[in-house]
Amino acid sequence: MYLEHFGLSEPPFRITPVTVFFFAGANRGEILDALIYSISEVEGIIKVSGEVGSGKTMLCRMLLEKLPEHIETIYLANPSLSREEMLYAIADGLGLNIEGERVGIIMQNIQNKLEEKAREGKRIVVLVDEAHAMPPDTLEELRLLYNLQVGNAKLLQIVLFGQPELNAKLDQPNMRQLKDRIAHHFHMQPLSRSILENYLMFRMRAAGYHGPNIFSPGAIKLVASASNGLMRRVNILADKSLLAAFVEDTHNIEARHVKAAMRDSELNITPTLRDKKLLLGSAAAALLLFGLAAWWLLGKPQTSFRPARDNPSSQDKPLTVAAAPAAPVPETRPIASQPNPALAPASAAVANQTIAPPEDMPAPVQKQVSSPNSTLFEQRLAAGQQLLVQKNAVASIQLFYKEEVQPERIEGFLKRANALGVLSEIYLLPARFGGKDGLRVLYGAYPSTDAAHNAIKDLPPRYQEAFAASTFIF
């Protein structure tokens, strides 16, 4: 209805996953890179979790498109399968005809087919969408399938996509064997307000829009608050806001349009868990301060005092009260020593605060010098840190990242890079992901982001096939 009004070729905020609208921000692109690398290079079951509407299905569809040709996929969209139905679905994905066979025969046929694929140089991965809704017996059958191997090589890779309830299910005692085999876990973060504008305009331009930004700061703030950063809610609100602006015959999306969309969608601004904690903490602090003030005023001589204000100015003057006759002053203690369970953790955190590097930023650089006897991992880590110290480059190409530092696995990648003759172009950079020490694997050093972006097409063909490379700014 509003496409022509905004110069769009198609609806920009459909909730049906369409890969052309995949947004690589808010850690989505990095998770995609890591998934491609993990499936291609390492073993272990992989888990991807995220709230309802955070974009898990879109990520799964992107993975289906981006995996190298030698990796064949079996996509299980219906999680409520019994163990027999799941085996039939996998057998069907492998091109097997096992109708009417009992479970033992089905398993044997699946193993034979997987061994045949392995001899052909193929790798099979099963992508399970909505895995949190999968029955425990079916999940256990998946674990048994994952155990199939030839020599030391696993025959099947498994990726579980699910809501946070999947974590609770895996914490159950009967799921511990499956949980122990999960080698990588990725969590999809909600969109922050700071990148919501980029997301909205990315979708608009992907749908053919060529004009300036149409979402006002007030509109973006409301969308962020009402959606809690969940992409599906953002899409619903943005779509209906465009419709409201079209009805008014305006091209600017204001807060009133978002409010109309919220009413139509029955979405209200709900405080996040962080907001609730802040609210409870503020209430506890207010009660504590009120009690201390009452205790102080009842036991201490009245003297001049200055009322607290949110924004005190230089014109604020103290209110002077005549002093009462002298009286014994009760012994006082510092506020920090007053016991209060609600504030104790926060007070301890402030008292013992250690400033850490921001999330998703390189760890502090320490001077390292590689020696001839050092490993390739140590050499390229030193090269990456030297790159930061010299500051000769502005950007690089990120091939992938790891949420955990695993030198032995990266060493294998570096040996293959050396065989390709591109080892000198590889840089390892420490990073922080979700409070954990991780690692970025970069390629090349460039004087500008445009140069790095243009160089992606010149990556070795193997890297172009295996990784969804992106520009990284130092």
Q: Please state, as a whole number, how many other Cβ atoms lie within 10 Å of the Cβ of residue 48.
A: 25
**Residue 42: enclosing H or E segment and its boundaries?**
none
Beta-bridged to residue 73, according to DSSP, are 125
**How far is residue 177's CA from residue 180's CA, in Å, rounded to a whole number?**
5
Beta strands in 88-212 (DSSP E): 123-128, 149-150, 153-154, 156-162, 182-187
Quick: pLDDT tens for 329-353.
Answer: 334 333 333 333 333 333 333 333 3
pLDDT at 387: 85
In this structure, the chain runs to a length of 474
pLDDT at 281: 52
Q: Which residue has the higher pLDDT, 284 or 467?
A: 467
What type of residue is 389?
V
Q: What angle do CA 22, 26, 27 make, to 5 degrees?
A: 90
Res 398 pLDDT > 80: yes
Cβ neighbours for 454, distance < 8 A, ≥ 6 positions apart: none
- Which of 448-457 are b and which e, b meaning 16 or more Cβ less than 10 Å from the residue's Cβ? eeeebeebbe
**How far is residue 206's CA from residue 13's CA, in Å, rounded to a whole number?**
10
Backbone conformation region of residue 55, classed left if phi is above 0, alpha if psi is from -120 to 50, else beta: left
What type of residue is 136?
P
Q: Please state, as a whole number, how many other Cβ atoms lie within 10 Å of the Cβ of residue 16.
A: 9
The token pair that represents 279 in the structure block:
């609210």
pLDDT at 324: 36
Beta-bridged to residue 204, according to DSSP, are none
Domain 3-15+191-265 classification at class level = mainly alpha
**How far is residue 338's CA from residue 31's CA, in Å, rounded to a whole number?**
45
Backbone conformation region of residue 20, classed left if phi is above 0, alpha if psi is from -120 to 50, else beta: alpha
Angle between helical axes of 56-66 and 28-41 (0-180°, round to 10): 50
Banded pLDDT at 434 (limits 50, 70, 90):
low
Find, among 141, 125, 28, 152, the residue nearest to 68 by Cα. 125
pLDDT at 372: 59
Q: Where in the chain is the domain with CATH 1.10.8.60?
A: 3-15+191-265
Q: How much of the chain, in percent, has pLDDT values that exceed 90?
A: 51
Phi and psi for 431 in degrees, rounded to 5? -150, 170
Beta-bridged to residue 473, according to DSSP, are 395
Three-state SS for 437?
strand
Q: Where in the chain is the domain with CATH 3.30.70?
A: 376-473
CB 400 within 8 A of CB 439: no
Cβ neighbours for 194, distance < 8 A, ≥ 6 positions apart: none
pTM attached to this predicted model: 0.59
The token pair that represents 352 in the structure block:
């013992």
What type of residue is 99?
E
**How far is residue 407's CA from residue 150's CA, in Å, rounded to a whole number?**
25
Phi and psi for 405 in degrees, rounded to 5? -85, 115
Quick: pLDDT tens for 3-24.
Answer: 999 999 999 999 999 999 999 9
Q: Tell which CATH architecture fits domain 376-473.
A: 2-Layer Sandwich (3.30)
Three-state SS for 169?
helix
Section 237-243 average pLDDT: 95
Q: Which residue has the higher pLDDT, 382 or 328?
A: 382
Own/partner contacts of 67-70, CB < 8 Å, gap of 24 or more, are 67/36, 67/39, 67/40, 67/125, 68/36, 68/40, 68/465, 68/466, 69/465, 70/121, 70/122, 70/123
What type of residue is 312?
P
Q: Mean pLDDT: which of 44-53, 309-318, 370-379, 461-470 is highest?
A: 44-53
Own/partner contacts of 375-381, CB < 8 Å, gap of 24 or more, are 375/407, 375/411, 376/411, 376/414, 376/415, 376/418, 376/423, 377/407, 377/410, 377/411, 377/414, 377/428, 380/414, 380/423, 380/426, 380/427, 380/428, 381/428, 381/430
CB 87 within 8 A of CB 156: no
Q: Where in the chain is the domain with CATH 3.40.50.300?
A: 27-187
Q: In the CATH hierarchy, which fold is given to the domain comprising 27-187?
A: Rossmann fold (3.40.50)
Quick: pLDDT tens for 154-199.
Answer: 999 999 999 999 999 999 999 999 999 998 899 998 998 889 999 9
**How far is residue 249's CA from residue 245's CA, in Å, rounded to a whole number?**
6
